[in-house]
Each structure stands twice: as C-alpha cells, then as structure tokens.
Structure 1
C-alpha cells in the first residue's frame, strides 16, 4: 500500500479493506460463550485487572443467544450506518480458543456460513491457549476462509504483566506468533498505552519489539478504567496519574513513526461503555483522539515507519 495515496499518514484498516475488497468491510462481534483461562483457574484466577466482566467483549453479542440471532441483530445495526458491505465474523469476548476442538469447530464452521458476504473469520485469544491441534485446524480452515488471529500482548514488560495479572510471558507470545505464522495465519497484536507505571520509553519498546515479529496488524488502545474491574476498584481507592489526551497522542504518534510500514493499523483508540467508564474522561470522544493523532502526523509531515526506516538504513 502506498501511504502517499491516502489522506492519513499511516496504513489504516479501512483503506486496506477498501483496496482489497472494493467495498466497506465491518466486523460483527459474536459471543461464543467462552471464558478465560486467567479467570477459571486454568492458568490463574481473577482475570487481567483491566478487563471487564464481559471479557473485553463489551460490544459483542449476547452469549445466551444463538450465533444467528447475534449476527442478524448486529448486522441490522451496522446497516443503519452503512448501506452495503462485507462482514467479518469476529469472536471477541474472552478467550475464543479456550474450549475442546470439537466445540471450536462447531462454532467456527457455523459462523462462516451465517451470511454469503462474510469474507473472514477473526478470533481473539491468548497466546497460551493455542495448542497444536487447534492451529492445525485453523490452518485448514484458512484454505477455505481467511482466518485472522488477534493476540493480546498489551506490553512486553514483565513487571507490568505481573501487575495486571496477564499470566503469560513474552516468550509465550513470541512463540505463538511464530507457530501461527508457520501455518500462514494472519496475526494482529493488541497493545495498551498508559498501563500503570509505564514510561513512554517502555511503551516505545513494546512497539519496537513488535517490529521484530512477523505480524500483519496492530491495535493500539489507551488504558481506560471501568467499573467492576480490579484496576478500576484500585484506582477509586487510591488514584494515580493517568495519561492525558496530549500524552496519548504524543506516545501514539511516535509509535506509528517507529512501526514497520507494512503493518496495518486496525485501531488507534478504544472506548468503554459510557455507563462503565471511570477514567479518563477524554476517551469518550474517539474521533477527537484520532483527529489529534492525524493533525500531529500532518504537522510533522511524516509517515508510518519513517523513524524505523531511518534507523534501518543508518
């Protein structure tokens, strides 16, 4: 993709899909009724301290409803905004490979047949819940329908990982990426800026590590604190300084400039359900955040990967 052909100074997911499919593509977030090994005691208990009781699937379908009903409801809402488009069946809430293979097969096979305009299956999971038999099946499925695996890294720093109770280490993540890529499965990594006690340098180091891996996409989110989470409870009891909008824009723009040019940026912001958000309040306005990032990129006259390329060729 030639970045100079686009209004934005980075590889956006929207542009990528428009070039690939010549049509709007949007995700239908499904809830397969999974839990998380970090909640049920398989690897730990309590879950990641920032994660809501919805398992980071706060806008996904209702797990008590069949996939068909979930899909149709969300599709109908999407078409109030976009008249036409293709769909990605997206298993979002909790850990979507945390089940026996027969159950995974049944859910995934049903999902890809929910609509003839589904062009991809996207699965959010953890790097420690990808046994070889699951990867082998996903590789086979990938020959029939493109499969995308979204992995939550959040940070490369073990001190932060321990603090947020992530319950897997960086080596586990790196190994999962390699095993997925060995089977030609697309990998998208999720990171969070503003985790407690992380400096800008630490956040930059996370992106610089990602550059070394064979990943195809990235989601960059700010930390937002929600009700009914351990981190939210701790914050209300003993508040700490959180990132301002200016802080977030500064860090994120520098991350984009260091990010390899071939990596597709899926998101640069995220939001919590309004009634659940504790802080920071500026995260309620996603378009303000992305507009400020775009303004700074244009002001600098720089593009995604410029710093990375400069160091590479120095």
Structure 2
C-alpha cells in the first residue's frame, strides 16, 4: 500500500499498531505492507460497522489491476489461486485467466487450480493454451475423469478430433458404464467416421438406460448417416412418441423421405416449421450437412427445392 494512502493515525486506531516500527530493510517493508493489507481486508470483511466506510475490496477482483496490491499478491501462488477461484465462481472467466497469468509458471499450481485455469481459458476462446494447462493437470493427477474430459473438449474445440477420441477411449477403460463418457465416446467415434463402432456404443447406452432420448436420437441419426434408413425410422418413431424436440421432426422428416415416404416427410417437415418458423414455410432452411446427407440417398438439390415449394404452397 502506498506510504500516504492510509493515514498512520487511522491505521493505529483501527488495528492498534502504533508501536510497530518500520524496518529499513526492503524485505521487512514488504512484510509490513503485506500484513497491513491482510489486516485491512479482515477489517472490511469482519468489522460490523465497516459498511459505514468506503470498502476498497467491494471492487474485489479489480485489485489485481492496482500495481501496489498486485505486486504483493502475485508473489504468493495461494493468493492468486484464491482470487482466481473467486472470479471463476462468478463466471468472470477473463479475470480468472488474468489472475493466473500473473504466475511466473503454472507448474506450481495444484491440479484443482489448473482445472480452473484451463476451464477459464477454454471459456474465453483460448483452447490451444487450455490444452497445455489440462495436460499439466493430467500429469499431476492421472486418470482424473474431469481433467481428461476438459482436455478432450479442448482438443475437439481446436479440431483435433483424433486426439479427443484417444482421450475418450482412455476414459472408457476407466469408467466403461459412465453414461456421459459413453455418449461422448460414441459421438467422437461418429465424428471420426467410425460410424459402425459409434452405433455399438449408442446401443450400449440404450441398454444401460432404456428411457434415454439421447441414446435413441444418437442411434437414429447414426443409422440414417450409415445408410440404414429403416432402422432410423424405427427409432424416430419411438422418439416422436415420447417428448420430441423440433429438430426431431426435421430429422425424422429426412428419414421418411430417405425411405421413400414423401407424404410422411411433408407432414413432419410441416410440424418442424410450426415449431421453429412460426408456421411460415418460406423460412424453412436446411443446413449444408443435412443437404449432403440427403444427397447420399439420391435426393438432389433440385428435389430439395421442389420440397420447399411444396411446403410453401400446401
């Protein structure tokens, strides 16, 4: 704290430190400043009348940007980890990363702090940096499913699907019946083009949790993408009989069309339009990935345009 920022007589009256003598050595001055900072913080946090005074700690995390305080805090990794964790709990991810960036090296952090650091980097779009942090956490705490999940997510975010798949495969060996891991592993297999293997995982998901809509959706879409339209229709029939989302009507419409059932496809597309386009078929839009899938069933872009015209006119 700067020499003149807090009158000495006020410090004495608040903390009873009038008998403390300043040492000339820099290290003692630094220790004294640190002590005053801690006492000041305790006062504003604990004294029942502190709300009558201006509390500099109400702008708590901004203290990182105050040079005098930052110089003290940054020399203690525990202080940094504490402040960063507080920022993370308030969803202030940029400030969390800013706090951890004060560290000369991330290697002194605990696996838990590294988790917070990496997660904040991932949240602010710095997935490449997050990978390095999560890999360090994985080294310090091997076989942690939470760390491995975040590492796999970081790899997926950067487009490294193969690395993500390897992580999920390792997680599967540790927890072969964990539903969330099973789903991510199957999804990762699908994204890596291993659709037959993905389908096996999704069937296992359904076996472990028969009422799971997520498992049924995964089986249906994976089946349709694997040129198994009859199986896809079977599962979309189950989904539509449960609690379907708008997208289920779109995908089941594709499935009906791929099975040659044009009237059923139109019916399902109309249901999708009612739920997403305010009933206006002119707003009906197909993503490029859906168009590519339909092409695999010899449905051309001209056919798709004719379908749109039919939906508008009917």
Q: TM class, shorter-chain normalised?
A: under 0.3
Q: TM-score, normalised by structure 1?
A: 0.25
Q: TM (normalized to structure 2)? A: 0.25
Which structure's CA Rg is the greater one?
A: 2
Structure richer in helix, relative to its length: 2
Structure number having the greater strand percentage: 1
